[in-house]
């Protein structure tokens, strides 16, 4: 079992690799502009880089170490995630003023710039994937599958549909099953895609990929259940974003349906299921196991 300090070192090393890869992409951009400044502002504000780290850990679990193509996929995943946060914070959605410990993009710049910076981050992500596929020695069908998987996860069969349902449910009461599907779409889909793409790049077998996908499904829901709990009792200074906003916007969340204690128990059960899905994997998947336990304990 990986001790917590080892997980911190594991995460720090991979986060640094992803951050360097992101910096290199922007260093290659011809000139600075307000749009690029806004994109970089949100991207470099200090996110946890959980999705890229899951992508790498998933590849490692089936025997591949971090390389250039994996890092390109990591950058694309983080750009899509960051764009989703920039848009999620907009006045028309959650209307939040603090993100990653900084004023949100629309507060620091303006609403139009934040919308456009989000659009540009999303489009840039797919340009990076297409270029990585074109430069790769591997067959193009693998890259097409990665692009299909990430676009499905990000769009109207994944994250955006989840966001739509999340907004549509404000002020209404929805069932536990409906809430689970909102969370699986708005947060789970991109987490699942991150794990799937890591395993695919590492040439995992269909059986390994299926098990990792089960791991990711449980983990993605657990991650959002904990996000809901932190919105009730988390420390905004640690989280880098405001608390209490879900109840202010009359969102149905796990704590609003089950209370905090039962929500924690539910998240723990989901993490147990995630660990069970990869129980037969060898110690190369220890980071995935440690990340699952970290998701339960996280404070930010």
Among 213, 191, 184, which residue's Cα sits nearest to residue 49? 191
**Nearer Cβ to Mg ion, position 130 or 242?**
242
Minimal distance, residue 247 CB to Mg ion, in Å: 13
CA 238 to chain centre: 18
**Nearer Cβ to ligand IPE, position 95 or 213?**
95
CA 5 to chain centre: 22
Residue 246 binds Mg ion, judged by CB under 5 A? no
**Nearer Cβ to Mg ion, position 162 or 198?**
162
Minimal distance, residue 112 CB to ligand IPE, in Å: 20
Q: What is the SS3 assignment for 176-242?
A: HHHHHHHHHHHHHHHHHHHHHHHHHHCCCCHHHHHHHHHHHHHHHHHHHHHHHHHHHHCCHHHHCCC
Minimal distance, residue 227 CB to ligand IPE, in Å: 4
Minimal distance, residue 124 CB to ligand IPE, in Å: 17
- Token duo for residue 64: 């591949």
Residue 208 binds ligand IPE, judged by CB under 6 A? no
Q: Which residue is listed with tokens 């995460």? A: 11
Minimal distance, residue 40 CB to ligand IPE, in Å: 15
User: Which 77-106 residues touch Mg ion, going by CB under 5 A?
Assistant: 88, 94
Question: Alpha-carbon distance 80 to 74, whole Å?
Answer: 10
Question: Alpha-carbon distance 223 to 242, whole Å?
Answer: 17
Q: Which does 42 bind (CB under 5 to 8 A by kind): ligand IPE, Mg ion, none?
A: none
Residues of this chain that bind ligand IPE (CB under 6 A): 47-48, 50, 81, 84-85, 88, 94, 100, 159, 163, 186-187, 224, 227, 231, 241
């Amino acid at each position: 079992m990986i001790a917590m300090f080892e997980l911190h070192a594991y995460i720090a090393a991979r986060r640094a690799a992803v951050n360097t890869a992101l910096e290199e992409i922007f260093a290659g951009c011809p000139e600075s502009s307000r749009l690029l400044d806004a994109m970089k502002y949100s991207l470099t504000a200090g996110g946890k880089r959980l999705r890229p780290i899951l992508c790498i850990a998933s590849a490692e679990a089936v025997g591949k170490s971090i390389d250039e193509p994996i890092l390109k996929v990591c950058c694309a995943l983080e750009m899509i995630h960051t764009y989703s946060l920039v848009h999620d914070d907009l006045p028309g959605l959650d209307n939040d003023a603090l993100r990653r410990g900084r004023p949100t993009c629309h507060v620091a710049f303006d609403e139009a710039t934040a919308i456009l910076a989000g659009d540009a981050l999303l489009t840039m992500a797919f340009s990076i994937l297409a270029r990585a596929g074109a430069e790769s020695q591997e067959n193009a069908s693998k890259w097409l599958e990665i692009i299909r998987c990430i676009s499905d996860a990000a769009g109207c069969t994944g994250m955006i549909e989840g966001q739509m349902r999340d907004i549509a449910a404000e002020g209404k009461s929805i069932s536990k099953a409906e809430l689970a599907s909102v969370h699986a779409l708005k947060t789970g889909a991109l987490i699942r895609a991150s794990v799937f793409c890591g395993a695919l790049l590492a040439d995992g077998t269909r059986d390994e990929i299926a098990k990792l996908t089960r791991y990711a499904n449980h983990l993605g829901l657990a991650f959002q259940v904990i996000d809901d709990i932190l919105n009730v009792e988390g420390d905004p200074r640690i989280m880098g974003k405001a608390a209490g906003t879900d109840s202010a916007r009359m969102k149905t969340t796990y704590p609003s349906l089950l209370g905090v204690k039962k929500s924690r128990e539910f998240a723990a059960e989901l993490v147990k299921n995630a660990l069970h899905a990869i129980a037969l994997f060898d110690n190369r998947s220890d980071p995935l196991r440690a990340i699952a336990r970290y998701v339960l304990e996280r404070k930010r």
